[in-house]
A and B are shown apart, each in its own frame.
Chain A
Amino acid sequence: MVEAHRLEKRFGDFVAVDGVDFTIEAGESFGFLGPNGAGKTSTMRMISCISPVSGGTLRVMGMDPATQGAQIRARMGLVPQEDSLDLDLTVLDNLMIYGRYFDMPKKVIRSRADQLLEFAQLTDRAHDRVDPLSGGMKRRLTIARALISDPDLLILDEPTTGLDPQARHLLWDRLYRLKQQGVTLVITTHYMDEAEQLCDRLVVMDKGRFAAEGSPRALIEQHATKEVVELRFRPGQHESVAPGAAELAERHEVLPDRILLYTDDGDAVLEAVAAKGLAPQSTLVRRSTLEDVFLRLTGRTLVD
């Protein structure tokens, strides 16, 4: 579906995407994970044929974005990072207008819009103006709109950023259903849980390059341990306690607000911590996540 070879994006002297290679298969759900400024959005904008490629080659659906951008975009749905809905028009009008860009007959758009409004749980708001809708509703409408032309490839740039947990879970559920229907999804996110929920395969992006790639599970297995023990001490105590705590685990990270100990047996480590006389204010044993993978690969956390 998408093939990139030594793909580059430069803005003047600044290199946003620094020669990355990847292949996205039809029907797969592929994620770009990374902090803000990692080059995710630039990569997405090149795939969606909005932003010209600065170097390397890119093929989308076998076509060249530089010369066949319009044909590619005609078979693609794009959910940009910032909604571009027409706030003065109604929910239904937004879908109608968008369908007309694809030159779909009004009747076809109308019947498809009904299905999509149902899908996006916006049926009862169809004739309301968009402006007063909640962030989650606007996001769902943007996704419904991107689906109006029955795209083969759906591109979502940070689909749930800024939404409350309930709205996010609803969106994930909708996206999961699309995936079940065979729509190829390409997603950027800086949320680990989102990537774990939605992506079959993902790349971890940092400073324009790929730090790692694989399935969420494989990445965790490869770059993190089975469990993580989180220890919180009083502010200022971390540095003095860290060396002692570090001996108890395979690997550790000292963050401003907590110490992370990587191990395959969290409870055992926790007992060892207590036996050593260390008295954290609070403790937590949890499974490793992509957050830990990212920390391991880049030495930084994803969301500051």
Chain B
Amino acid sequence: MSRAETLLFEHGELVPARRMATPMWLRAARYWAYQYKRTWRSSIFTSFLIPVLYLTSMGVALGSLIDKHSHGVDGVTYVAYLAPGLLAATCMQIGVNDTTWPVMGAIKWMRTYLAMLAGPLDVYDVLLGHLAWVAARLGIVVTIYLAVMAAFGTVLSPWALLALPAGVLTGMSFAAPIAAFSATQDTDTAFSTIYRLGVVPLFLFSGTFFPISQLPHLLEYLAYITPLYHGVALCRDLTLGHVHLWVDLGHAAYLCAWVGAGYALGRRTFSRRLVV
């Protein structure tokens, strides 16, 4: 008799019942956290490095020229003006990045979603769990970003604490609709188009680097529609302490609408793709 045979468990030997069952979506989110454990060091390091590099080169170096010629932007130094814009733009990039290739991989390459669906999770748990993890990761990145901003002296008000949820919200306003879109794709070719025609133009023209009033009227109105503009404006008002309550609540509500619409759409596209 082989060793394996003697070690075989008795069938029906029950797993102890837990008093409080973990919600299904949280079990899905736990997977992504487990994955993250493999790469968290390099990921955290990058989250530090990117704002340090950007704020040094564009904020401080380029900013000193701007400040010399025009006495800052909107009454603050250029680096203080730029930093919250970059924060929101970084959140957008993470929101897009974490819901394009990872969603496709979980459907097609690694089939992670299918493994989840073979257990007690259903398709909405899978979607919600993934989005919850993206939100958690955004939370980590924004926290680091705000710390770097503080070190650069660009956090001018205690309102800046609210830039944490504002940044997460900005990222999620991209993550939710993009996840819904990714679930409809058979190849990853559309993803580079999203970057070329979506992420990069938004990054450059949504008020990250300069007020959108500098743009031609048509582009200015176009910028108003994008979630990034509202994310940038909200984060900037909070870190500079220029809070206009109703305007900023409006920005937040607009971002929430994108998250909600994206999630509703995602429920449909995920079901259509995974439940056949």
Contacts and interface: CB of A to CB of B under 8 A. Distances in A.
Interface of A: 11, 48, 50-52, 69-71, 73-74, 78, 80, 82-89, 93, 96-98, 100-105, 108, 112, 115, 118-119, 121, 146, 149-150, 177, 181-183
Interface in B101-158: 110-112, 114-122
A83 B34 CA distance: 20
B110 A100 contact: no
A108 B119 contact: no
Contacts of A112: 9
B8 interface: yes
A150 B38 contact: no
19 contacts: A74-B120, A80-B118, A84-B114, A84-B115, A84-B118, A85-B110, A86-B35, A86-B112, A87-B110, A89-B35, A98-B115, A101-B27, A101-B119, A104-B15, A105-B16, A112-B9, A150-B13, A177-B5, A182-B11
Contacts of A118: 3-4, 7
B53 interface: no
B110 A84 contact: yes
Contacts of B245: none
Nearest to B10: A181
A169 B171 CA distance: 51
B30 interface: yes
Given A71-B120, A101-B116, A119-B7, 16 more contacts: A48-B118, A50-B275, A70-B24, A70-B121, A73-B120, A83-B111, A84-B112, A86-B35, A96-B34, A97-B31, A98-B119, A101-B28, A105-B18, A121-B4, A149-B15, A149-B119
Interface in B31-71: 31, 34-35, 38
A239 to B, nearest CB: 44
Contacts of A86: 35, 110, 112, 115
B271 to A, nearest CB: 10
Contacts of B12: 150, 182
A98 B119 CA distance: 8
Interface in B194-242: none
A112 B67 CA distance: 65
B22 interface: yes
Given A87-B110, A97-B34, A118-B3, A181 B120 contact: no
B10 A73 contact: no
Interface residues of B, number: 38
B174 to A, nearest CB: 25
A80 B114 contact: yes
B119 A74 contact: yes
Contacts of B38: 88-89
Contact of A150 (B9, B34, B118): B9
Contact of B14 (A103, A115, A150): A150
B248 to A, nearest CB: 39
Contacts of A115: 7-9
Nearest to A78: B118
Contact of B18 (A52, A103, A119): A103
Contacts of B114: 80, 84
Nearest to A155: B118
B224 to A, nearest CB: 42
Nearest to B3: A118
A69 B111 CA distance: 20
A119 B11 CA distance: 14
A150 B11 CA distance: 7
B27 to A, nearest CB: 5
Nearest to A103: B22
Nearest to A145: B115
Nearest to B39: A88
Contact of B4 (A82, A98, A119, A149): A119
Nearest to B15: A104
Given A80-B118, A84-B115, A150-B11, A11 B276 contact: yes
Contacts of A50: 117-118, 275
A4 B225 CA distance: 52
Nearest to A90: B38
Contacts of A88: 35, 38, 110
Contacts of B27: 100-101, 103
Interface string B240-275: 000000000000000000000000000000000001
A76 B13 CA distance: 15
A6 B242 CA distance: 67
A84 B118 CA distance: 10
Contacts of B7: 115, 118-119
A104 to B, nearest CB: 5
Contacts of B30: 100
Nearest to A74: B120
Nearest to A11: B276
Nearest to A42: B276
B11 A102 contact: no
A102 B7 CA distance: 23
A11 B5 CA distance: 44
Considering the complex of A and B, which 8 residue pairs feature the smallest CB-CB distances, nearest first? A84-B111, A101-B119, A78-B118, A84-B115, A74-B120, A181-B11, A70-B120, A84-B114
